């Protein structure tokens, strides 16, 4: 273990001088980058904890306990299915329904039931549960707490609010597209017990509030079905599906960033910083058409921080987080900070470089290196992207 950590530190240290030359000759920026790298190195030496828990028996947390069909959801006397997305298993059940009812159209993604690109979403929800990010951050209620109601999803949680736009919104679009339900059974979604006005609960209501967002999710689900019936190659179908899905996910995150902003105030500065960089990371995975199946999503999510960060934490030097978690905090923060310092240049260069199937494949490999390989020299990223963009 010590040898691994020493190699990680060497990788960070060697990347710093080149990084400074790539970005700017200003001493203040160079010094800030060097300090960040040294802190990251110390963090990686100090980290001894395990990585975050994102799966249970190989699947999202409590996947086997979540409703698998509409008949397993709560039903009113009139036969209407009434889903409470503020209860963890029912929100997870919406994901299970979406995956179960679209798997038949996902043959181009690969054999077996675990290659749907939708797997990243329930894995995210499970990580949020395990890491305490669905708990009421104000402490005013015991929602989400082990000592209270551990299956409760707090409407005061920023993470739960953002996830609403990545769970309820696509679920309503899937129902509207005819992929869930027979068009006869009435399906309703409950609002939270408080601040219900902040959340739409029907396709009609959500479409009125967020027409572009709902349109993108409906387009994704219709694309999934249409692609399976077309004579295009599997590669072409995959690109159509991934392009539509990531466009919808980006739209959800953009809307959530605005709608959920007030809820960020209940968190520590380190947690807010991580949350901002977490949202920003979607710019890179979406442009690269990340293949978010069960296996790949699990690998990318395992290094996420396994608990909510506090004001006492100094990322990426958090002793009770693992080397992998500290590395993720470092990389996410680095990419967000450099992009901001360079006036959005990093994201723009990345988007420009992801101009073809071959380029996106290279982009996915770069993401692998950035997130999962601590020895990867971040100093070379800008020159790599410049070369890729030039070849487009």
The per-residue pLDDT for range 363-389, each reduced to its tens digit, is: 999 999 999 988 887 878 888 898 888
Return the minimum-mean-pLDDT range out of 52-56, 159-163, 257-261, 329-333: 52-56
pLDDT-derived band at 49, boundaries 50, 70, 90: very low
Query: Given a cut of 60, is residue 27 above it in pLDDT?
Result: no
Rounded mean pLDDT of 106-129? 96
Rounded mean pLDDT of 54-63? 96
Separation in Å, CA 122 to CA 61, 89, 100, 345: 8, 11, 13, 32
The answer to whether the peptide bond before residue 316 is cis (omega within 30 degrees of 0) is yes
Report whether 350 contacts 310 (CB < 8 A): no
Q: Please give the mean pLDDT across all residues of the chain.
A: 87
Q: Is the dihedral of CA 257, 263, 265, 268 positive or negative?
A: negative
CB atoms within 10 A of CB 358: 10
Query: Given a cut of 70, is residue 16 above it in pLDDT?
Result: no
The confidence score (pLDDT) of residue 90 equals 98
The confidence score (pLDDT) of residue 43 equals 37
The confidence score (pLDDT) of residue 39 equals 39
Report whether 374 contacts 8 (CB < 8 A): yes
pLDDT-derived band at 171, boundaries 50, 70, 90: very high
The confidence score (pLDDT) of residue 308 equals 98
Report whether 341 contacts 29 (CB < 8 A): yes
Query: Given a cut of 50, is residue 330 above it in pLDDT?
Result: yes
């Amino acid at each position: 273990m010590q040898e691994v950590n020493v190699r990680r530190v060497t990788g960070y240290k060697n990347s710093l001088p080149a990084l400074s030359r790539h970005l700017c000759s200003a001493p203040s920026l160079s010094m800030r980058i060097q300090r960040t790298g040294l802190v990251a190195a110390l963090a990686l030496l100090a980290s001894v904890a395990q990585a975050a828990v994102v799966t249970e028996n190989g699947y999202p947390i409590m996947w086997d306990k979540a409703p698998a069909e509409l008949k397993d959801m709560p039903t009113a006397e009139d036969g209407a299915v009434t889903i409470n997305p503020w209860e963890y298993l029912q929100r997870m059940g919406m994901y299970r329904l979406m995956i179960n009812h679209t798997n038949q159209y996902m043959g181009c993604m690969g054999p077996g039931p675990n290659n749907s690109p939708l797997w990243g979403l329930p894995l995210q929800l499970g990580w949020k549960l395990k890491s305490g990010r669905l708990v009421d951050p104000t402490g005013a209620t015991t929602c989400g707490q082990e000592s209270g109601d551990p299956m409760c999803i707090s409407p005061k949680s920023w993470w739960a609010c953002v996830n609403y736009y990545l769970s309820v919104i696509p679920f309503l679009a899937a129902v509207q597209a005819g992929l869930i339900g027979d068009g006869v059974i009435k399906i309703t979604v409950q609002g939270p017990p408080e601040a219900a006005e902040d959340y739409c609960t029907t396709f009609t209501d959500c479409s009125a509030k967020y027409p572009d967002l709902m349109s993108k999710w409906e387009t994704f689900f219709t694309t999934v079905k249409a692609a399976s019936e077309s004579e295009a190659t599997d590669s072409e179908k995959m690109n159509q599906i991934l392009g539509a899905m990531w466009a919808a996910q980006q739209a959800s995150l953009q809307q959530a960033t605005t709608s959920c902003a007030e809820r960020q105030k209940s968190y520590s500065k380190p947690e807010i910083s991580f949350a901002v960089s977490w949202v920003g990371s979607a710019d890179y995975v979406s442009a690269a058409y990340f293949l978010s199946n069960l296996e790949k999503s699990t690998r990318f999510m395992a290094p996420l921080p396994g608990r909510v960060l506090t004001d006492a934490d100094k990322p990426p030097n958090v002793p009770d987080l693992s080397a992998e978690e500290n590395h993720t905090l470092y990389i996410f923060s680095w990419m967000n900070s450099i992009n901001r310092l360079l006036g959005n240049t990093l994201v723009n260069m990345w988007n420009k470089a992801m101009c073809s199937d071959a380029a996106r494949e290279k982009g996915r490999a770069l993401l692998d290196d950035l997130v999962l390989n601590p020895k990867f020299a971040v100093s070379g990223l800008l020159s790599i992207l410049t070369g890729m963009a030039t070849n487009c």
